[in-house]
Structure formats: structure tokens, C-alpha cells
Structure 1
Amino acid sequence: MLEQEVGLALVERSGRQVRLTAAGQLLAAHAEQMIARLLVAEEDVRAIGQLGHGRLRMATFRSAGESLLIDAITYFRGHYPAIQISVVEGEPEEYMASLRRHELDLALTYDYDGLDGQLDEGLVREVICSEPILVAVPSGRHYERQPLRLADLAQEKWIASTPTNAVHRFTERACAQAGFTPRVVMHTDDYHIAQELVARGMGVTFLPEMSARSHHRGVDVHRLSDVTLSRRIHATYRTGGDRVAVVAAIRDVLIALGAP
């Protein structure tokens, strides 16, 4: 009997009623988790080599989600309409734990120059694209030097990411390359909000090229001539995930869309 194997009582009997002991409840919880993992594994195995059915669970950050991922999902849905697709939006710091727990199949992540974070051994990431980092200034602001140098903005107020975001240190480190410490006056992780603040004269900010494609009409966007800054976007998944057909397929679509 199982009780003899574990050496503990797993049920308590009172008349005709039977209930689990604390040890029994713990064992049952572990059993439920094992069954859930087996069901997920079974779905993954069935999905290998076929795209006729299945599910695809993804996560994205906003700037990639509203352009790159939308295009990828549109293409994917058109070619594999039977695949059930779900997407959550946030920051990688928020959803990477879900990827590790097998609650997601693939996540879009990023790294900026000087902020390349370490990846868990159980995860793999592949570069989808690399894009330059630009700078957004209030429209009509004229600078003596053209093209614009980052050093020309040393006296400006800056808008940067919040301290909870992995990009928080980027503004300081990027400006250090141009020889100054930025005077950061506001923080936001939303590039749309950052552009609105720039348009209203609250400061200047960095923008990835992807976010600058539809920039605010009150904002001018410049390439920088004295420093080279870039962001890389990755398709990140668990080790071995590319053997699952749906994961490999959406990864290939994303890489194709991100190609220059």
C-alpha cells in the first residue's frame, strides 16, 4: 500500500467518512501537479511535426506587441487557423516566470547595449532583430549640429524608465558614453506616455526605432552621430521548445519579419 511505502497515514476514517490527512493532502497536491505536467507533455508531443491543431501561448512587451507580434500572429493565423493562440502583454520581468513554469510557450524579450542580462540555463533565446536607439526631442527644437550628437543634449531634462524596469540604467549608461550624467526628471515605461511628455516640453527621451515609426506629431526623432546605441529583440523559449512544431513555426515567422 502507498501508506506503507511513505510510512505515514494518508487518510483518516471516521465511520463511513474518509478524509485526507495533512500528508495525504500534500501527496494529492503533488499528484495533481504531475498529472497537469503530463497532460502538457502529451499535448507537446502530439504537436511535434504537425500544425493541424494545438495551442500557442505567448507573451510580449508593448512596443513589439503592437507591430512585430501582430504581424506574426496575422500571418500565422492565416496559415494555421486551427492553432489556438493566446497572448499576454507586460514586461519580461513580469512574465518570464510564467515561461519557466510552462504556462507560456514563447516570450518576446529584449536587451539593450550595456544591459545584457543573464539567461537561465533552461531557456534559449534567438535574435529576431536589432534596431537603433534614437532620441526624441520637442518638435521645432533646433540644434546647431546636424546630425544631432548625444553630447548636445547634456543640459536637457531626461525622461527614463522606472527603477523596476531592466532598462532603467540604460539612459545613464548611454549618456555616460557621451561624457555627461543625465538629469532625469520623470520616469515611465510606456513610450507613448514618454513621447507625450516630450511633446509638451517636459524633457527628451530615448526611443527604439520600432517605437519611433509612428512618433507623436509634437516630437522630432533624431539619429545620433557620436554614439551607437541599439536594442535587440529575442524569441525566448524553454530548452527543447523548438522541437515543438508550433514554437518553431512562430519563431521562424518572427525572425523572417524581423529580418532587415
Structure 2
Amino acid sequence: MLDVRRMRVLREVAQRGSFSAAAEALAYTQSAVSQQIAALEREAGVKLVERSARGVYLTEAGAILVGHADAILARLADAEAELEALAGLRGGRLRLAAFPSAGASVMPRAIAVFRERHPAVDLSLQPAEPEDGVALLRAGEVDLALTIASTFDESSCMYGPGIEEQHLLDDPMYVILPETHALAHRRSLRLADLAEEQWMLGSTGTCPDATIFLRSCQAAGFEPRIAFASNDYPSIQGFVAAGMGLAFVPDLALINLRDDVVVRSLGARPPVRRIMAATLKGSYCSPAREAMLEVLAEVLAEVAAEFGAARRELSLAS
């Protein structure tokens, strides 16, 4: 019989690439990790891990076992959630993941509201880009993850089979410019007006916002010139203020706006990123998760109204 706890250790070794990194993540000693892997190999009757000068890697058997480990651990997490939910919202736990701009703008308020209403629920939050949040979902390490989709991807879930998404909010995209820019006096702009500009861009490998921007530029008839790539919106604002280029930024990422940049609308129907709540398809929806979905929808609507009013006031004042 394979030990589930040792399978969790194997998965950490596979994800981290070394025994020492897995030990740190699990709060084990490196020796304990090595012993757990050796014991699991005895149980499985095959070699699961090979060492090399660059770290460790899975054998074919190890890769097969890790694939099953994700599913097994996710089902165990569901079982634990169902048992905890027997007490309703008088106990249990809820584990969340959220991407950075939501973590800075929405989650503090949502968590405060949830804890005021349901103080007995053990609540935790991990910062994670959308793809990483989905990976945590699949591994059974979180119960709900905030993700991002775009108006270009409405037909199906962009994170693959096994994931369900609930639409929470359309987050409009704006352009930010240096306050000294020749077009800074306009209250709204067309993306085509900015075809010759240089741009700051979120790293395309991890940031769905970048995909929304690139497709919007394509629809406007030009290929943007990228000056710098970053997933840190405060840093992007700094580059814009320094005159290094313009940026395409979602409303939720403008919670802290510099005084030396201006925000401009892209018209009545701007590109939007769709804020989604992702869960595992077929997983048990605990009372705590259901309550958090209600809180998120409520708080996101409030934040959107507040931000929209502030953005309109800023545009009129500029």
C-alpha cells in the first residue's frame, strides 16, 4: 500500500527540483525527505527519483505516480472539506488563491467581510498568478482561485478540462501616460492613436493581461513596440512616469496611482479582462466556499462602482 503522505513528498520534490527545496517547503529536514522517498520506492518496488549534478528528476515510474498523486490529494482535500462542512459555517476551512492586483484591491475587503460574517472558518490566502492558482486547485492545495479570462476567450474555460469558472466582474482596461505626454489632455483615446508608441507589457508567459493587450492591438491594426516587460504594475507606472513608454492597465491595478501619470479611457467599449472564480469541476462546494463566492461578487461590484466613479472624476479633472 502506497503512503499518501510520502506521495505528497514526492510531488514536492518533483515540483521543487531538489530534496532541499522540498524539505524547506514541507518544513522537513532534507534527511527526512530522503528517507520518505526511499520508503516510497520500497513500497512501489521501483526507482522513482534519479539524482544528477543539476538536481533530481523523476523516473518514468515517478512521473506516473506524481500524476496520480495530484488526483488522489485533490480527492482527499474534498473529503476533508465535506467532513469539515458538517459543522456548516461554524467551523471548517477555506483556502484561496488570488492574482496580485486582486490581492491588493479586492481580497483585503472580501476577507474582512467574510471573517466578520463567519469568524469560525479558518481562512487562508496564497498569492498566485492565474495559471499558478489553477495548478494549486488541481493539486488540492486551494479550494477557490481567482483567475483572469478575456473577451477573446468567452466560449470555453481557458485553463483546460476539469476547471469550472464563475464570472464575477468585467475589469476594464485603461491606458496610462506620462502627465507630459502630448495626448495627456484628451479624456479618451483610441488604441489606434497610439500605434507608434512604445509600451510596457506584462510578461506574456504568466500574465493574461498581456494577451488581452496584444490581441487588442491586433484588432486595432498594429503590432506594438515593447520597451519593457514586467508583471509589477507599480513598477510599470514608474517606467511610464519616466517617459519610457505607455501601459495598458486594468482598473483593479490602479488602486495606487502615481501623481505624475494620467489615466485615459479607451472609449465606451474598452477591452476588458474577465475576473473569474475557478474551482475544480465536480468538487464539493462547501458552505464556506459558497459564502465566499457571494462575498466576492458583492465586494467586486462595490469596488468596480467606486473605481469607476473615481476614474470618471479623475478624467474630468485632468
| TM bucket normalised to smaller | 0.7 to 0.9
Alpha-carbon distance in 2 for matches of 1:179, 1:129: 28
Instruction: Look up the match of 1:66.
Output: 104
Alpha-carbon distance in 2 for matches of 1:230, 1:66: 19
Alpha-carbon distance in 1 for matches of 2:137, 2:247: 31
Deviation string 1:176-219 (CA, Å, 9 cap, x unpaired) is 22222111111011111111110111100101011124322111
| Greater relative contact order (Cα < 8 A, sep 6+) | 1
Per the TM alignment, residue 26 of structure 1 is displaced from its structure 2 partner at its CA by: 2.3
Structure number with the higher strand fraction is 1
Superposition TM-score, scaled by structure 1 size = 0.81
CA pair 177-36 structure 1, distance change in 2 beyond 3 A:
closer
Per the TM alignment, residue 257 of structure 1 is displaced from its structure 2 partner at its CA by: 1.5
CA pair 242-137 structure 1, distance change in 2 beyond 3 A:
farther
Instruction: Look up the match of 1:16.
Output: none
Alpha-carbon distance in 1 for matches of 2:117, 2:164: 26
Of 141, 150, 153, 2:194 maps to: 153
Task: Show the 5 A alignment for 1:121-200.
Answer: 121-143=161-183, 146-167=187-208, 168-200=210-242
Of 10, 35, 44, 1:26 maps to: 44
The answer (yes or no) to whether the contact 1:149–1:224 under 8 Å persists in 2 is: yes
My pick for the range that moved more, 171-180 or 191-200, is 171-180
What percent of counterpart residues are identical? 33
Q: Which runs of 4+ in 1 moved over 3 A?
A: 20-24, 33-40
Deviation string 1:60-105 (CA, Å, 9 cap, x unpaired) is 1010011111111000111111111111112122231120121110
Alpha-carbon distance in 1 for matches of 2:139, 2:131: 14
Instruction: Look up the match of 1:106.
Output: 144
Of 130, 134, 137, 1:96 maps to: 134
Matched length: 239
Structure number with the higher helix fraction is 2
The runs of 5 or more residues in structure 2 that have no matched partner are 2-37, 46-64, 306-318
CA pair 127-162 structure 1, distance change in 2 beyond 3 A:
same
Alpha-carbon distance in 2 for matches of 1:110, 1:186: 22
The answer (yes or no) to whether the contact 2:187–2:265 under 8 Å persists in 1 is: no
Greater Cα radius of gyration, structure 1 or 2: 1
Alpha-carbon distance in 1 for matches of 2:73, 2:256: 47
Alpha-carbon distance in 1 for matches of 2:267, 2:298: 29
My pick for the range that moved more, 125-134 or 234-243, is 234-243
Superposition TM-score, scaled by structure 2 size = 0.67
The runs of 5 or more residues in structure 1 that have no matched partner are 3-19
Aligned residues: CA RMSD: 2.8
1:87 aligns with 2:125: yes
Alpha-carbon distance in 2 for matches of 1:41, 1:111: 29
